[in-house]
C-alpha cells in the first residue's frame, strides 16, 4: 500500500515539475528506494499503454476517488508487474476492474497487431510524421447524379481529371487541382488531401457524399441486389445507409436503427438531402428488435457498424475511442441465441444446453463485469447472434469476391476483436472440443475482396478472410470489415464436432 502511494506521489511530483525520478524517489521517505524506483520507472515506460487501458476500461469514471497517478501504478503492477502483492483496499479496487482491463489489453494488442506486452511499447507504425496523408474521397451519389456528370462538373471548376488510378501510389502522388477515379470503388473520386468540398454545391445538394474510402467498403462488399430488404443495425449518421440505398437504387427497404436521437436527426436530414427514400428509421436499441417479427422476414442482408470498433484504426486517438464495447455483453447468456445447438430456447437459457452441454453464460467472460453499461456502443457479438436467428435465410447474391458464396444472411462486422469475440462466442460451447471458428454451424467467414491488399491479422482462425484498411497500407482511414455468411440450414444441424 505504502509502495503504491509513494510511487503515485513521485509521479505526481514529476508532473508538477518538482524534480526528476531519481531526486523524487531518493528524496521520499519510502524505505526501499530501489523497489520504488523500479515501479515508477516501469509505470512511466508503460505510460501511453496505461492511459489507453484506463480510458478503455473507464476505470476512473467508475472510481471517482482514485487519482490518476495511483491508478496508473496499480494497473501497471496488476497487468505488467508483480500482480499487486500488497495494496489493501486499493488492491481490491484494482482487482474489481481486472477483467475489463485485461480485455482492453487484448483489444489493444489486436489493434496494434502485436502479441507481447513489450511490443506494445514500440512506436506504432503509420502514425508518425512519415504516415501518408489520406486523400479526400468523394462518393458520387448515384441516386442523384452520375459519375461522368460529376467528373465534368469538377473539370469545369478547374480540376484536371487523370482517369482511373492504377495503384495506391497514384493516389499518393495527387496534388494541386487534380483528381482520379478510385482503383477499387467505381463511384469514388479521389482528390488531394485537404481539398474542402463542404461548401461545394454538389455536396450541399446531396449529389456527392464526403466519405472515406474505408467507410465505403461495407456497403460495397455487402452489395445487396436492388429490391432487397436490408438491416442497418447501427446506422446514424447514415453514410453507409445512403450508400446501401444507392446500391439498392432506392428499391427494397433498409430498416435502419440507432439509439442516439441527435445522430438520428442528422441522419434524417442527410438521407433526405441524398434523395434516399427506401428506408425506415427507428430510434431503437437494435438488440431489442425481434428477429422473428414478420416485417423483417425478407431481410437478407445486415450491416452492423457498432460504435468504436476502431480496430483497423491506427491513430492514437482511436485507442481511447475504441474502449468499452467489449463489456456490453454483460448478462448475455446462451439462452439468448448463442447456443449453436438450440434456438435460444428456455432450456438453453436455464441450466445449459442439453445438446452441447454448454452452461448458460459460461462462455461469456464479461458477465463478471460488476457494472454493465446502459448503452451499447459496439455490441457487435450479441447483435450478430441476434441477426443470425432472423428468419430470412433465402439464397441471395454472394458477397463480392466470394467464390461460391450466396446463402442467406450476410453480416458486416467491423472490429477485428469483435469478430474474434463473436466467432468465439458462436462456437464457444464447442470450442473446447476443437471446432474452428470458420466451421461454426451458424455462419462462415467469406473471403471478401481477395484483391484487397491488407488482410485481417491472425487474431482468430480465418482472419485473413477479413479486410483491414489503414492510412499506411491503403491510404484510407483505419477500418476492419468481416463478411459473414449464414450457412444453409443443412450446415446448421445441431452438433458439436471435434
Ligand X SMILES: C[S@@+](CC[C@H](N)C(=O)[O-])C[C@H]1O[C@@H](n2cnc3c(N)ncnc32)[C@H](O)[C@@H]1O
State the catalytic residues.
430
| 272 phi and psi angles, rounded to 5 deg | -65, -45
Task: Kindly tell me which residue out of 91, 100, 207, 240 binds ligand X, with binding defined by CB under 6 A.
Answer: 240
- In degrees, to the nearest 5, what angle opens at C-alpha 121 toward C-alphas 118 and 127? 140
Shortest Cβ 109–ligand X spacing (Å): 22
Interacting positions 364-383 with ligand X (CB under 6 A): 376-377, 379
**Is 454 annotated as belonging to a binding site?**
no
**Is 305 annotated as belonging to a binding site?**
yes
Rounded to an integer, what distance in angstroms lies between the CA atom of residue 241 and that of residue 222?
12
**Is 117 annotated as belonging to a binding site?**
no
Neighbours of 288 (CB within 10 A): 10
Burial (CB count <10 Å: 0-12, 13-18, 19+), residue 311: buried
Burial per residue of 294-305, b for 16 or more beta-carbon CB atoms within 10 angstroms, e otherwise = eebeebbbbbbb
Shortest Cβ 139–ligand X spacing (Å): 11
Query: For ligand X, which is the closer residue by CB, 307 or 319?
Result: 307
Helices (H) and strands (E) in the chain, counts: 20, 14
236 CA to centre of own chain = 15
**Is 234 annotated as belonging to a binding site?**
yes
Query: For ligand X, which is the closer residue by CB, 340 or 415?
Result: 415
Q: Do the beta carbons of residue 313 and residue 477 sit within 8 Å?
A: yes
Task: Kindly tell me which residue out of 7, 208, 222, 236 binds ligand X, with binding defined by CB under 6 A.
Answer: 236
**Is 237 annotated as belonging to a binding site?**
yes
Shortest Cβ 230–ligand X spacing (Å): 12
Query: For ligand X, which is the closer residue by CB, 305 or 417?
Result: 305
Q: Do the beta carbons of residue 305 and residue 221 sit within 8 Å?
A: no
Comparing CA positions, the residue from 262, 222, 221 lying closest to residue 238 is 262
Neighbours of 317 (CB within 10 A): 10
**Is 239 annotated as belonging to a binding site?**
yes
Query: For ligand X, which is the closer residue by CB, 306 or 352?
Result: 306
Helix axes 98-112, 416-431, angle to 10 degrees: 120
- Stretch near ligand X under the rule CB under 6 A, chosen from 28-36, 196-204, 235-243, 444-452: 235-243
Q: Do the beta carbons of residue 190 and residue 180 sit within 8 Å?
A: yes
Shortest Cβ 77–ligand X spacing (Å): 34
Neighbours of 496 (CB within 10 A): 20
Task: Kindly tell me which residue out of 43, 141, 195, 239 binds ligand X, with binding defined by CB under 6 A.
Answer: 239
Query: For ligand X, which is the closer residue by CB, 99 or 235?
Result: 235
Task: Kindly tell me which residue out of 3, 105, 235, 423 binds ligand X, with binding defined by CB under 6 A.
Answer: 235
- Does the footprint of ligand X cover residue 102 (CB under 6 A)? no
- Cβ contacts of 264 within 8 Å, gap of 6 or more: 236, 258, 281, 283
Task: Kindly tell me which residue out of 238, 335, 340, 361 binds ligand X, with binding defined by CB under 6 A.
Answer: 238
Rounded to an integer, what distance in angstroms lies between the CA atom of residue 14 and that of residue 488?
61
Q: Whose CB is nearest to ligand X?
A: 234
For ligand X (CB under 6 A), the number of binding residues is 21
Interacting positions 257-316 with ligand X (CB under 6 A): 257-260, 263, 285-287, 305-307
Q: Which DSSP letter does residue 471 get?
A: H
| 448 phi and psi angles, rounded to 5 deg | -80, 135
**Is 235 annotated as belonging to a binding site?**
yes
**Is 344 annotated as belonging to a binding site?**
no
Interacting positions 241-260 with ligand X (CB under 6 A): 257-260
Query: For ligand X, which is the closer residue by CB, 239 or 474?
Result: 239
Residues annotated within the binding site for S-adenosyl-L-methionine are: 234-240, 258, 285, 305
Residues annotated within the binding site are: 234-240, 258, 285, 305
Summarize as ranges the residues that interact with ligand X (CB under 6 A).
234-240, 257-260, 263, 285-287, 305-307, 376-377, 379
Amino acid at each position: 500500500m505504502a509502495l503504491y502511494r509513494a510511487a503515485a506521489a513521485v509521479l505526481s511530483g514529476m508532473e508538477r515539475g518538482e524534480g526528476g525520478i531519481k531526486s523524487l524517489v531518493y528524496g521520499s521517505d519510502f524505505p526501499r528506494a530501489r523497489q520504488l524506483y523500479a515501479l515508477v520507472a516501469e509505470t512511466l515506460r508503460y505510460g501511453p499503454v496505461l492511459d489507453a487501458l484506463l480510458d478503455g476500461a473507464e476505470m476512473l469514471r467508475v472510481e471517482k476517488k482514485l487519482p490518476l497517478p495511483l491508478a496508473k501504478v496499480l494497473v501497471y503492477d496488476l497487468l505488467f508487474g508483480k500482480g499487486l502483492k500488497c495494496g489493501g483496499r486499493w488492491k481490491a479496487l484494482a482487482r474489481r476492474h481486472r477483467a475489463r482491463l485485461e480485455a482492453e489489453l487484448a483489444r489493444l494488442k489486436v489493434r496494434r497487431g502485436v502479441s507481447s506486452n513489450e511490443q506494445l511499447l514500440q512506436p506504432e507504425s503509420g502514425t508518425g510524421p512519415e504516415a501518408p496523408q489520406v486523400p479526400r474521397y468523394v462518393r458520387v451519389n448515384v441516386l442523384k447524379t452520375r459519375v461522368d456528370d460529376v467528373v465534368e462538373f469538377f473539370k469545369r471548376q478547374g480540376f484536371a481529371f487523370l482517369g482511373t488510378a492504377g495503384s495506391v501510389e497514384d493516389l499518393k502522388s495527387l496534388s494541386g487541382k487534380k483528381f482520379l477515379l478510385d482503383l477499387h470503388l467505381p463511384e469514388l473520386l479521389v482528390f488531394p488531401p485537404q481539398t474542402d468540398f463542404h461548401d461545394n454545391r454538389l455536396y450541399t445538394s446531396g449529389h456527392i457524399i464526403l466519405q472515406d474510402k474505408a467507410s465505403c467498403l461495407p456497403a460495397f462488399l455487402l452489395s445487396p441486389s436492388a429490391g432487397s430488404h436490408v438491416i442497418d443495425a447501427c446506422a446514424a449518421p447514415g453514410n453507409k445507409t445512403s450508400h446501401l440505398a444507392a446500391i439498392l437504387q432506392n428499391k427494397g427497404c433498409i430498416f435502419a436503427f440507432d439509439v442516439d436521437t441527435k445522430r438520428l436527426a442528422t441522419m434524417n436530414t442527410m438521407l433526405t438531402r441524398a434523395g434516399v427514400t427506401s428506408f425506415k428509421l427507428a430510434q431503437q436499441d437494435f438488440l431489442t428488435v425481434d428477429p422473428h417479427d414478420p416485417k423483417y422476414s425478407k431481410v437478407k442482408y445486415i450491416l452492423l457498424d457498432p460504435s468504436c470498433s476502431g480496430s483497423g484504426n491506427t491513430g492514437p486517438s482511436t485507442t481511447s475511442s475504441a474502449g468499452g464495447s467489449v463489456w456490453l455483453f454483460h448478462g448475455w447468456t446462451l439462452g439468448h441465441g448463442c447456443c449453436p445447438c438450440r434456438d435460444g430456447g428456455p432450456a438453453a437459457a436455464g441450466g445449459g444446453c442439453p445438446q452441447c452441454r454448454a452452461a448458460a453464460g459460461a462462455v461469456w467472460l464479461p458477465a463478471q463485469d460488476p457494472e454493465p453499461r446502459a448503452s451499447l456502443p459496439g455490441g457487435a457479438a450479441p447483435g450478430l447472434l441476434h441477426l443470425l436467428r432472423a428468419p430470412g435465410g433465402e439464397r441471395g447474391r454472394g458477397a463480392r469476391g466470394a467464390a461460391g458464396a450466396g446463402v442467406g444472411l450476410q453480416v458486416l462486422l467491423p472490429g477485428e476483436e469483435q469478430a474474434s469475440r463473436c466467432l468465439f462466442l458462436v462456437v464457444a460451447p464447442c470450442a473446447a472440443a476443437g471446432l474452428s471458428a470458420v466451421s461454426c454451424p451458424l455462419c462462415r467467414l467469406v473471403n471478401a475482396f481477395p484483391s484487397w491488399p491488407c488482410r485481417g491479422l491472425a487474431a482468430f482462425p480465418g482472419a485473413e478472410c477479413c479486410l483491414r484498411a489503414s492510412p499506411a497500407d491503403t491510404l484510407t482511414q483505419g477500418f476492419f470489415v468481416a463478411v459473414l455468411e449464414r450457412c444453409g440450414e443443412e450446415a446448421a444441424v445441431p452438433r458439436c464436432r471435434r
